[in-house]
Amino acid sequence: MDCIFCKIISGEIPAEIIHRDDEIVAFRDINPEAPVHLLIVPVKHIETITDIDTEDQNLVGRMVFVAKQLCEQEGISESGFRMVLNCREHGGQEVYHLHIHVLGGRAMRWPPG
């Protein structure tokens, strides 16, 4: 499958992987928008959040839990962070393999652009 995140998961493309289990992989964004910028992705290729099935509910919950654990590991739990999930064109999604962004290490603004 011609998916950049599937290739990172399989090891075909290098990335700084900071978490891996049977269902979830996390790595640093190649083009960080903040001092800490992580991507949490499911091993299963799901294009976007509108494609999740009933059976994927626990997986998405686990993605959030792994993100929370990685925030502790990165030392941004106390200062705070932003979790972002972009969906399709209006959401600004570029890579069509479901992912949660974790951005931290600086203050974020609101509303987003």
- The amino acid sitting at 107 is A
Does position 30 interact with ligand AMP (CB under 6 A)? The reply is yes
**d(Cα 91, Cα 19) in Å, to the nearest integer?**
26
Residue 33: CB minimum distance to ligand AMP, A:
7
Does position 2 interact with ligand AMP (CB under 6 A)? The reply is no
Assess whether 99 carries a catalytic annotation. yes
Does position 95 interact with ligand AMP (CB under 6 A)? The reply is yes
The β-bridge partners of 21 are none
**Which is nearer to ligand AMP, 13 or 64 (by Cβ)?**
13
Structural contact between residues 27 and 18, judged by C-beta atoms closer than 8 angstroms:
yes
Does position 29 interact with ligand AMP (CB under 6 A)? The reply is yes
Question: By rule CB under 6 A, what count of residues binds ligand AMP?
Answer: 13
Figure out which of the listed residues 1, 90, 94, 107 binds ligand AMP, where binding follows CB under 6 A: 94
Catalytic residue among 37, 97, 99, 101: 99
**d(Cα 112, Cα 40) in Å, to the nearest integer?**
20
Figure out which of the listed residues 11, 31, 53, 54 binds ligand AMP, where binding follows CB under 6 A: 31
Structural contact between residues 38 and 101, judged by C-beta atoms closer than 8 angstroms:
yes
Which among 28, 24, 20 is positioned nearest to 42, based on CA atoms? 24
Catalytic positions, please?
99
